[in-house]
Amino acid sequence: MKKLTISFVYALTLFFLAGCGLKKEATFTGKTMGTTYHIKVVTWLNKNTDSLREKIEQRLREINSSMSIYMEDSEISMFNKYEIIDKDFAVSDDFIRVVTIGKKLYEITGGAWDATINPLVNIWGFGNDKKKRKIPSIEQIKKLKENVGYNYINISGDRNIAKKKKKIAIDFGSIAKGYAVDELSTLILKSGINNFIVEIGGEVYASGIRKDKENWKVGINRPEKDASYNQIYKAVRLINMALATSGDYRNFFEYQGKSYSHVIDPRTGWPVSNGVVSVSILAGSCAVADGLATAVMVMGHEKGIQLINSLDNIETLVVIKKEDGSLTDYSSKGFIVQ
């Protein structure tokens, strides 16, 4: 009888502790994709997370070896060197998924998002070839535009893509980090953890709740060139959603009193000058949010918000810099700030 009483008291104690939310936080940080990542997971005290870091690092290596344009032997680098027209090029599951996401983004944005834009980015001096930033000639832009267009990439079969022009090259820099966030989130969920937040280079996905049982909150950086990285413009509550932000206030150059943004319109070949300084997108997929943030920067706030309002479960906040230097913002129907 005494043993039964002790067992009952022990079980009741465990139940009481669990009811009180006896949990721990584990944090993983590191470098990837030319930036940093930060992950926080909330688990029960007896949950072992030692192996999770290794799985995270391995998954990031796989994605990087597929989509890094800085690695000569990556899938994307090999495809960009491949100059045979209309012949299938076999790719990995990661690569075909990102190519497919890119095709959807290209189509729904009317070409405002385009992963083949790098020749134009480079000629303006914003690429990785370290060219001097300058204004190219109309003739240069026209010539480069001949090899820009995501429609020149064909998806055939389950894991094959082909070029319709041999000089077409792709750069998934505007969605690869978001894709990695999605993949790490899936990995963590499969490990049995439902409460976590994943951030790579500012792109975020949050699942469940924090240790204090509150919702995760993420700040949108104040879109001004002199603002510190921790200066918040608006805060957003994330509940099983991703948040991605694109802006032009960190990477630009000035010439004869005019500012030229690193955000290039693939359709014209020129930097955008529509007053948009920041776009944040809420979506279920961080890759989609990542790409749409860039696209709305290009489209401008009116057409951009019109597009977002036509899409299910996707919201946006667009920040405009007015002529007097002040900031104002516009949002889609369901975007809520804290």
- For residue 129, pLDDT over 90 is answered with no
| pLDDT for 337 beyond 60 | yes
pLDDT at 302 over 80: yes
pLDDT at 29 > cutoff 50: yes
pLDDT band per the 50, 70, 90 thresholds, residue 22: low
Percent of the chain's residues with pLDDT above 90: 76
How much is the pLDDT for 17? Answer: 43
* Residues whose CB is less than 8 angstroms from the CB of residue 246 and which lie 6 or more positions away in sequence, other chains included: 174, 263, 278, 279, 290, 293, 294, 296, 297
Contact criterion met (CB below 8 Å) for 294 and 313? no
- Where does the pLDDT of residue 44 fall: very low under 50, low under 70, confident under 90, or very high at 90 and above? confident
d(CA 218, CA 206): 9
Asked which of 102-116, 259-273, 281-295 is least confident by mean pLDDT, the reply is: 259-273
Please give the pLDDT value at position 131: 66
Q: In this structure, are residues 316 and 282 in contact, taking their beta carbons and an 8 Å threshold?
A: yes
- Is residue 248 within 8 A of residue 263, CB to CB? The reply is yes
CB distance 308 to 301 below 8 Å: no
| HSE toward the beta carbon, residue 210, CA cutoff 13 A | 8
Q: How far apart are CA 290 and CA 281, in angstroms?
A: 7
Residue 21: pLDDT band by 50, 70, 90 thresholds? low
Q: 0.85 exceeded by the pTM?
A: yes
| Tokens representing residue 257 in the block | 């009193």
Between 13 and 215, residue with greater pLDDT? 215
Rounded-to-integer distance, Cα 308 and Cα 311, Å? 5
For residue 5, pLDDT over 50 is answered with no
> What mean pLDDT is predicted for residues 320-326?
91
Residue-by-residue DSSP string for 117-130: -HHHHHHTT-STT-
**96-121 mean pLDDT:** 96
Can you say how many angstroms the Cα of residue 319 is from the centroid of all Cα atoms in its chain?
A: 18
User: Which tops the pLDDT comparison, 171 or 260?
Assistant: 171
User: What number is the average pLDDT over the span 304-308?
Assistant: 98
Looking at residue 271, what DSSP letter applies? B
Mean pLDDT value of segment 102-123: 95
Report how far residue 65's alpha carbon sits from residue 32's, in angstroms, rounded to the nearest whole number. Answer: 11
Percentage above 70 pLDDT, the chain = 92
**pLDDT of 55 strictly over 70:** yes
pLDDT at 130: 60
- Per-residue confidence at 32, pLDDT binned at 50, 70, 90? very high
Q: 12-16, 77-81, 248-252: which has the highest mean pLDDT? A: 77-81
Closest CA to 187 of 172, 205, 169: 205
53-62, 147-156, 190-199, 228-237: the lowest-pLDDT one: 228-237
What is the model's pLDDT at position 152? 97
pLDDT confidence of 248, banded at 50, 70, 90? Answer: confident
Q: Which domains, from first to last, does the chain contain?
A: 70-163 (1.10.3980.10), 215-331 (3.10.520.10)
Instruction: Identify the pLDDT of residue 45.
Output: 77
Q: Please compute the mean of the pLDDT values over residues 145-156 and round it to a whole number.
A: 95
The answer on pLDDT for 6 being more than 60 is: no
- Cα–Cα distance, 8 to 327 (Å, whole number): 62
pLDDT attached to residue 207:
98
Confidence of residue 19 (pLDDT cuts 50, 70, 90): very low
Give me the pLDDT at residue 38, please.
98
